[in-house]
Each structure stands twice: as C-alpha cells, then as structure tokens.
Amino acid sequence: MTEPFLPYSLPDIGDEEIDAVVETLRSGWLAPGPRVLAFEQAFAEWIGARHAIAVTSCTAGMHLALLACGVGPGDEVIVPAITFPATANVVIHTGATPVLADVDPRDLTLDPAAARAKLTPRTKAIIPVHYAGQACRMEELRAIGRERGLRVIEDAAHAFGTTYRGEPIGRTPDAAVFSFYATKNITTGAGGMVTTDDDRLADEVRRRRMHGLSADAWGRYTESGTPFYRVVAPGFNYAMGDIEAAIGLAQLRRADALLARRRALAEQYAALLGDLPEIALPEEREPGHSWHLYVIRLRRGALSIDRDAFLRAMREEGIGTSVHFIPLHYHPYYRETFGWKRGDYPQAEAAFDEIVSLPLYTRMSDTDVERVAKAVRRIVERHRR
C-alpha cells in the first residue's frame, strides 16, 4: 500500500490549546483583552525583554516598528536579498525605499559587509532576517547601527527560541518581531509579537496598533473603562485578539519541549544524510539555532537533475517540500519598481538554485524523518553524476 502523503508542515495543537480556546469562547471576551495582556507579559519574561506587544502578524509588527523608529519617505532601509516579500513590503508601506544586500553563503543571513556597502546618507535602518532559526551576525550589524546612528529592526519570524552569544533573540535595544503563523516554532494560527527594551518605541507601537487610540482607550469596554477615546496618531487595526493569545499562552508553556523536539529532528536528519556528498546540510554557525527550517543544498553539478526536478521527485515520493525563499529581485514588481536585476546578488542567486526545505515539525515521528531521508537518498542515488 502506498504511504499517505507526508505534508511539509503541520501545527502541533493539543488539548491544552483546545481547552484554552474553549475557555476563552465561554468567557465572553474575544477582542484584545486579558489574555493578550497575559501573553505579552509571559512572552516578555520568556525572552527577557522589557516590552512585548502582541499584533496580528509579524508583517504588522515590522510595519509598526519601522514607523515607531521614524522611517518614512526619503529614507532607505537595508534588507537581505533572500527573505519573504513582507520584509521589503513593510518598508514600502512606510514610504521608504528597500535596498537589497547579499547574504552570507554559509547560512543565508544578511552579510554585514554587503550591508555596509549599501549604506548611503539616506539609510535609516537595517532589517536582518534570522534565517531558518540561525541568528544573524548581530554584533557586526549592531556595530554598523551604532556607527551610523541606524535602527536595527530584527525580522525574527523564524527565530523564536534562537539565541545569539547566549542571549535570546528579542532582547534588543531596538526591536525584534516574531511570527506565530501556523508553521512557526510556536503558533497562534496567525499573529506576531514586537519586543524591545526601548520605552518610547514600545509606546509608539502600542498606540499605532489600535487605530492610534490613546492608552486610556484600551479597556473602554471593561467595568472600569470609558467609552470616550482620543486619537493621537494615524494608526492601524493590528491588535491581536484573546483567542489567538490563549493559544499562544498554551504554546509558550510547551515551548521548551517543542524546541527540543525540533533540535532532535535536525540531529536525526544530519545523522541520516550526512554521508551524501551531493548534499550540503545546514550548519549551526554558532550555538543557538532554533531549527525552524531544515534547508539542504544540492551541490552544483553533483546531480543530473536541477533543484526543481528534485522537488518534483520528492512529491512523487509522497513528501512535501518547500523553498525559502525566491530572491526578492526575481519578482517582477521589485525589478520594475527599483531596477533590481539578476546578477547583482550572486550569493542569493547561487543559493536559490540549490536550496530545498525538508519537512521539520514537531508532530513528525522518527519514522517520518527516516522516510524523508530515504526518499532523498533514493533520488540522489538515481541521479548522481
């Protein structure tokens, strides 16, 4: 009998999360309220950050963080050439211009030297992306920020549980923004979190996430609240609700176990695939990788098929895969709007032709990992040169 299709990712939701949602539904309070506040406090404590502000998505959080840092028309913000489009889109939404810099070929995070080469008098901020759960070279990037008076807004969508030099990602004087999308290390279905140690930045993010209403309008439907409010900034409807926060609280209580399972899965992949010379496995450049993704690279010229044919072969084996990500300058909007073109970011382009994201999620069994590894091995053995 043919084995059922193994999906690329599945969320890890159990009775604790289900019970938390049911309790929230029965409470009569679904809008942003007590569970959001509890989730923010618990997340801030987990990270060790002074502030954590819950939002509807990582994208929303990055948009708010940039605005809170004063980024706007006429400014430039440096982003890596390999990232999800949201990283560049939020810059555009502020009226500023995204500027691409190439990535480090070892781990596909923003190359500090490439970022430095893109600095101009208009540069206002840098957005490093902690790719796949590996931290960027933050010491070098923060040094650039200090030298030039720039804000460093960390795209931490992949980085819940990641550490850098022993410190959790998210403990920052500027801002870091996390994602709780269904595929992430912890999930609320959708949603995100902004963390910062900057009081002023935190206040500005809080104001703008809920239509720009004054702080005293937050609890206007509670017993001690008031129906009157003041708009103090042109804000957005970016506030997380209590249902998502209830799931987040339950996930946060399980976080250590979820992260440990991800590491165990990554170690199992390394043991099963490490002897294939045609494949480069992801490396932990320094301790602290949270293994959000497991991205292998097909060594150039080692196989008689290209990356896209490899993906099709994996699907024929009943295995879901993905690619993280299509370089930004390959997309027609960015090419036409900013003049970005192929050939300008050689490390990103070389990586894109080779990268394959294998399934890695905590509901996978050891047998599932063995099945994926066997499929990879069969394809490699059929097509090695």
Catalytic site residues?
A: 184
Nearest Cα neighbor of 176 from 75, 255, 77, 65 is 65
With both helix axes pointing from N to C terminus, report the angle between 366-383 and 255-273 in degrees, rounded to the nearest 10.
30
Residue 239, beta-bridge partner list: 55
Give the C-alpha separation, 107 to 150, whole Å.
24
Nearest Cα neighbor of 177 from 11, 43, 41 is 43
DSSP label of 291: -
Measured in whole angstroms, the distance separating CA 277 from the mean position of its chain's CA atoms is: 30
Contact 144, 112 (CB under 8 A): yes
With both helix axes pointing from N to C terminus, report the angle between 242-253 and 34-47 in degrees, rounded to the nearest 10.
30
Contact 289, 160 (CB under 8 A): no
How far is residue 206 from each of residues 51, 160, 318, measured CA to CA in Å?
A: 10, 21, 45
Beta strands in the chain (DSSP E): 51-55, 76-80, 97-101, 123-126, 151-156, 163-164, 167-168, 175-179, 192-196, 279-280, 294-298, 355-358
